[in-house]
Amino acid sequence: MRFDVLTLFPEMFSGYKTQSILNKAIDRELVEVHVHNMRDWTTDRHHKMDDRPFGGGPGMILMVEPVVNCVRDVQAMSDRPGQVILTTPQGERLRQPLCEELASTHQRFIVLCGRYEGFDQRVIDILKPMEISIGDYVLNGGEVASMVLIDSLVRLVPGVLGDEQSSWDDSFSRGNRILEYPQYTRPRSFEGHDVPEILLSGDHGAIEAWRKNQSLERTKQRRSDLLE
- Residues annotated as catalytic (active site), given as ranges: 89, 117, 155, 170
Own/partner pairs, 209-215, CB within 8 angstroms, 24+ separation:
210/181, 211/181, 212/181, 214/181, 214/182, 215/176, 215/178, 215/179, 215/180, 215/181
Residue 5 · residue 111 · CB < 8 Å: yes
Q: Pick from 181, 168, 175: which is nearest to 219 by CA?
A: 181
Residue 209's SS3 state is helix
